Structure 1
Amino acid sequence: MPLPFLTADSACDAQDPDGSGTAPAYEVLAHEDHERWRRPYRPGPWRVAIGAVLLLVSSFMLLATMIIAFAGAWGGAAACLAAALTVICGALRLLRMGVWVCRTGLRRVAFLGTRTVDWSRIAGVRTVQQPVRWMGLPRTVQGQALVATVRGAGEPLLLLTDHGADFLARPEAFDRAADTVEAWAEEYAGDAPATA
């Protein structure tokens, strides 16, 4: 069964094809569908591991639901089923978090919300040095962040950090992802008509 939230852009798949350690520049392939939302990088091992643990916990909760239902306690079975479905939805949302791009705009998916910005409203995307949250927790450390400057907005939109669940201890992966998102911004934000 295909899992679209785990797939990466084909440009990311083409990174370092000869094992030389140098990644080719972002390239638009003729067969790519730029109307479809895609995450231009692979989810990191921390995000996948946390999602897998949550799905494992939910499987035990579903087993407990079945045992409780066979015992005849339908109220407890319903509550356990609701808790298991909540954990499954949380795991799937966690795996879907990140930056998604397509021809129409840029989308930042957070755990509790999603923000979509048209390319015409984006003035630029750049990497900056600033305090960032470690794994999304309140603790902050000095690191790199990819931010988008949105026309009409006060603060830049934080897209990615090198201390997030996708890029912790993977600076090369962060650089590739930032370069790819910046390439999308140069291609589509530069061509989009500016709107006030």
Structure 2
Amino acid sequence: MASYWIRPYPPGTGRWLVIAWEAVALGFLTWASIRQFDLIGHGVKAITVVLGLVWVIGAWRILQHGVYVSSHGLLIRGLVRSRRMHWHDIAGVHLHQSIHKLGRWELQKDMTVVIERHDGATVNTELWAQGVDFHARPKLFRAVYQEIRGRHQTATGV
């Protein structure tokens, strides 16, 4: 599936907050590790380089994280892996409202976009109404959902 992938929404500012938070956390981990193990010289350089690389790779994945579309299908990029699906393999694109329960209390109702495949399996996307990209932009969440659904309908003639 060689085609041009686009993310139908701009990333939210929350991503930059997550990346900054991770930089501070890894900086603290580096400092604590150096102090805990009494590292000097090459040990300090090694742990700094290793944790710096972890941060760079993690930041890059956070920036690439999301749902991409093309004329051929859908690409879901997560933090660890990516998944591609052709439009003809997708039976439908739906909104799903999940409720988290703790005993008899309902904690939160979340809207997510779920992909239903023709074999009956469902695939969770990275699109979450309360996530870093859409928390302050609920209209954009609905617009992205409609965009993906419209592309699916156009590609499959449904």
SS for the counterpart of 1:172 is helix
Q: Which runs of 4+ in 1 moved over 6 A?
A: none
Question: How far does residue 187 in structure 1 lie from its aligned partner after superposition?
Answer: 1.7
Deviation readout 1:97-126 (Å, 9 max, x if unpaired): 110111221111111111111111001112
Question: How far does residue 164 in structure 1 lie from its aligned partner after superposition?
Answer: 1.6
Name the residue aligned to 2:145. 178
SS for the counterpart of 1:36 is coil
Cα separation, 1, equivalents of 2:132 and 2:155:
27
Cα separation, 1, equivalents of 2:77 and 2:141:
17
Q: Give the direction of change, closer, same or farther, for the CA distance of 1:157–1:171 in structure 2 (3 Å limit).
A: same
Contact 1:54-1:88 within 8 A present in 2 as well:
no
Name the residue aligned to 1:4. none
Name the residue aligned to 2:8. 40
Deviation readout 1:33-66 (Å, 9 max, x if unpaired): x9211111111121232124445777x79xx9xx
Percent of residue pairs identical: 26
Name the residue aligned to 1:158. 124
Q: TM-score, length-normalised on structure 1? A: 0.62
2:75 equivalent to 1:107:
yes
Higher strand fraction (1 or 2):
2
Q: Give the direction of change, closer, same or farther, for the CA distance of 1:153–1:113 in structure 2 (3 Å limit).
A: farther
RMSD between aligned residues: 2.7
Question: How far does residue 150 in structure 1 lie from its aligned partner after superposition?
Answer: 0.8
Q: Which amino acid aligns with 1:83?
A: L
Aligned length: 141
Name the residue aligned to 2:34. none
Name the residue aligned to 2:45. 77
Cα separation, 1, equivalents of 2:155 and 2:23:
37
| Unaligned ranges ≥5, structure 2 | 32-39, 101-105
Cα separation, 2, equivalents of 1:175 and 1:76:
48
2:25 equivalent to 1:51:
no
Q: Give the direction of change, closer, same or farther, for the CA distance of 1:176–1:102 in structure 2 (3 Å limit).
A: same
Q: Name the structure, 1 or 2, with higher relative contact order (CA <8 Å, separation 6+).
A: 2
